[in-house]
Amino acid sequence: MDFVFETEPFAIREWLMPSDLRDSFEAGTEKRLTNLTRLNVFVGANNVGKSRLLRAMFSETSSALGLRDKLSQDVRDVADALRDAFPTNVVIEQKSWQVFPCHWEGNRPNETPAGHVPGELREELNKTATGDSRRTHLADIQEALNRQQNRYGEVRGHANIRQQISPPPFVRVYIPSLRGLRASKNHPDFYVSRTVKDYFSSAGGINTWEGPEKIQDGSALNILTGCEMYSIVRSHLLGPRELRERITAFQRFVGDTFYDGQEFTLIPKEDSDVLDVKIGREAELPVHKLGDGIQHLLIMTLPLFIHRDKPLLLFIEEPELYLHPGYQRILIDTILKEQDRSLQVFVATHSHQFLDITIDSEQCSVYKFTKTVKGQGHELTAKFKVELTSNADFSVLQELGVRNSSVLLSNCTIWVEGITDRLYLRHYLDIYQQTRREQAKSIAEFREDLHYSFVEYGGGCVTHWSFLDEDGIQVERLCSKLFLVADSDEGKEERHEQLEKALGDRFYKLACREIENLLKPDAITKVIRDYEKDESLKLRTFKEEDYASELLGHFIQNHVLPDDGKFISKRVRKKTNQPYAAESGTLKNKPDFCTKALAHIKTREDISDEAWELCEKLYEFISKSNK
């Protein structure tokens, strides 16, 4: 395994996959994760490799991190010696990083610096220093160069840098989804033993909690499930002042964050293996009597306090388990507020709320996982792909009203112009699938935000995307396969032709003017009677073809409302004094009209033929995208 990292503060920036994973994973052409930040979120459908990669990052023990840290310090030593020799920094700016490179390519440094002070630097030094001063500076530079040279020799002496058994300068903690505070006297470490057996049976250095000294060892792989909470708290409280202060800080955090500043105390009683807690002036109670969400937060935030003096890598499976969205926000904020320390967190999640909270922060990186299966018969091979989704892409999604979590967690997307398009098509698809299931029990049922998601692209905003412009945002990298539905607006014929050419059978242009024109006459008349609160109201008769290309608001006012003087003169609803038509002629308050219409659309007979045809195309697209 190979890392690229920064040391001040310590942070992993890139991670190169080890050889045993490269055949299964595709993380770009270089098989590496880039742009790792403070909080790194792995998202995707079930069984696409998120947890597998998370555990591989946690359990790899052969790392070059320690050696690279030393190399970076060697380079800084050379630079410091040069700055002392040349206070004006002229030579530093022009020559030092060319003469003393420290770049990496693959597993080896790409160049070894000279082991002596170059003649050009000697000449520069002669101009600025004399006698003892010059000799001192030359000796310092020579010493720094020798250290760097020796370190490079140490690296180049190994066939592969991953063979270095150099303990990384950080503590690693893994929190599995199998966690909780309900330890048993007979099997206090069941969660840990099960986790080790299932995931890390071949890994060395697994720590199942043997005291504060052991867990501080950076070479150990620490698994924290919550069953160890009693032992951890007890050992810290009975330890030296530094360890007691960590538990004090943790208790203060819990009291301030979850209990309005009340004192929160963890009590490891001598005759028990379960922690008791005391909140303010309330009576003591066992910790597992707290809400499940609080219990999980205690487990996930404890490492931030007991390892606060060391660089920490924290790996969490499904952090959203049992957590209210508000508590998910608290967990994220707690991680991101740790600005003055070396901390990086990696999570695998399916949570919409968790994802939507993280994507607006520059301190978060989101990686989307997908899987393809290739081969024939019973010899199929799964290939996993990991892609970094940038914050720049997300900002555009937010402007367009796209629900970010949905497009990342589902396998395909249906792009529609606005909110009512989404509401109508969602309802039509539900009825379509229900009808098909009644006809054939074995038909697959697809669910929104799992198998497919809607994206509202805002009409003209579609030009931001790569459908029509090579420089546009690469939408399929971000949102998987897509199907785009467009209104039949006048003046957009050229754009529609381009979209059809780019998307083929994944583009559908309504034959009618807009989605509301797909409503059947019966639904429209029932909505009008709902507005007028008069089920017996007599309206003029009309057919679907009468309004297919018309602005529906104007059509209702001019051709549906009865010609009794009251409607025609004011063009308003009698009960609400609101017109049916907006100034543009389309329906006024489309979402409200939609809600009323959907209440009357319950079976296939209530859906127009074109709407049903569109549902058939959408279902076929969703089915193909989820095979």
Strands, E assignment, 359-427? 364-374, 381-389, 412-416
User: How far are the Cα atoms of 58, 60, 179, 302, 562 from residue 203, in angstroms, in the given order?
Assistant: 10, 8, 20, 24, 80
Q: Which amino acid is at 437?
A: R
* Cα 39 from chain centre: 9
- CA distances (Å), 362 to each of 327, 358, 359, 394, 522, in order? 21, 9, 8, 11, 51
Q: Which residue would you say has higher pLDDT here, 428 or 563?
A: 428
pLDDT at res. 579: 85
Q: What are the residue ranges spanned by the domains of the chain?
A: 65-163, 171-310, 390-509, 520-607
Confidence of residue 583 (pLDDT cuts 50, 70, 90): confident
Model pLDDT, residue 578 = 77
Comparing 394 with 531, which gets the higher pLDDT?
531
The pLDDT confidence band at residue 83, using thresholds 50, 70 and 90, is low
Distance CA 371, CA 319 (A): 22
C-alpha to C-alpha distance for 591 and 597, rounded to whole angstroms = 10
Mean pLDDT score, 559-567: 72
pLDDT at 240: 92
Instruction: Give the model confidence (pLDDT) of 537-547 as tens digits.
Output: 888 999 999 99
The Cα 340–Cα 304 span in angstroms is 12
pLDDT at 35 over 70: yes
Cα–Cα distance, 555 to 580 (Å, whole number): 9
pLDDT higher for 530 or 129? Answer: 530
Please, are residues 587 and 560 in contact by the beta-carbon 8 Å criterion? no
Is pLDDT of 192 > 80?
yes
Average pLDDT of the chain, as a whole number: 75
Q: How large is the average pLDDT for residues 384-399?
A: 60
Instruction: Please list, in sequence order, all residues whose beta carbon lies within 8 angstroms of the beta carbon of residue 50, skipping any fewer than 6 positions away.
Output: 42, 43, 44, 348, 369
Residue 396 scores a pLDDT above 60:
no
- pLDDT range class, residue 140, cuts 50, 70, 90: confident
The percent of residues in the chain predicted with pLDDT above 70, rounded, is 65
What percentage of residues in the chain have a pLDDT greater than 90? 25
Amino acid 330: pLDDT: 85
Give the model's confidence band at 77: pLDDT under 50 very low, under 70 low, under 90 confident, else very high: low
At 458-478, the pLDDT tens digits run 755 555 554 555 554 455 555
Bigger pLDDT: 80 or 348?
348
Q: Which of 167-176, 491-500, 515-524 has the highest mean pLDDT?
A: 515-524
Residue 450: pLDDT band with limits 50, 70, 90: low
Highest mean pLDDT: which range of 135-149, 324-338, 515-529: 515-529
**Average pLDDT value for residue range 103-120:** 42
Is the per-residue pLDDT at 215 higher than 60?
no
pTM as predicted: 0.58
State the distance between the two ends of the chain, measured CA to CA, in whole angstroms: 33
Q: What is the pLDDT of residue 480?
A: 56
Q: Which position has the higher pLDDT, 107 or 452?
A: 452
The residue ranking higher by pLDDT, 571 or 278, is 278
For the residues 198-216, what does the mean pLDDT come to? 63
> Is 163 a residue whose pLDDT tops 80?
no
CA distances (Å), origin 90, targets 74, 83, 93, 622: 21, 9, 5, 63
Q: What is the mean pLDDT of residues 24-44?
A: 74
Return the minimum-mean-pLDDT range out of 22-36, 78-92, 154-168, 374-388.
154-168
| Residues 17, 25: Cα–Cα separation, whole Å | 8
Q: How many angstroms separate the CA atoms of 99 and 121, rounded?
A: 10
- Please answer whether residues 287 and 295 qualify as being in contact, where contact means their C-beta atoms are separated by less than 8 angstroms: yes
Most confident of 273-282, 361-370, 389-398, 408-417: 273-282
- 413-426 pLDDT tens trace: 898 988 899 899 99
At 556 the three-state DSSP class reads helix
What average pLDDT does range 224-246 have in this prediction?
90
User: Amino acid identity, residue 548?
Assistant: A
Residue 619 neighbours by CB distance under 10 Å: 18
pLDDT for residue 575 is more than 70? no
Spatial CA neighbour of 347 closest among 10, 55, 4: 55
pLDDT of amino acid 611: 96
Q: H helices of 157-189, where?
A: none
Cα(596)–Cα(588) distance, integer angstroms: 13
Distance CA 539, CA 621 (A): 39
User: With bands split at pLDDT 50, 70 and 90, how would you rate the model's confidence at 359?
Assistant: low
Whose tokens are 């999570």? That residue is 347
Task: Calculate the dihedral angle through the C-alpha atoms of 414, 419, 421, 425, rounding to the nearest 10 degrees.
Answer: 70
Q: So what's the pLDDT on residue 23?
A: 66
- Give the per-residue pLDDT at 366: 86
H-helix segments, 23-100: 50-59, 65-85, 90-91, 97-99
Segment 28-49 shows an average pLDDT of 78
Q: pLDDT, tens digit, for every residue of 295-310?
A: 999 999 999 999 888 8
CA distances from 322 to 14, 236, 467, 512, 536 (A): 32, 28, 40, 46, 51
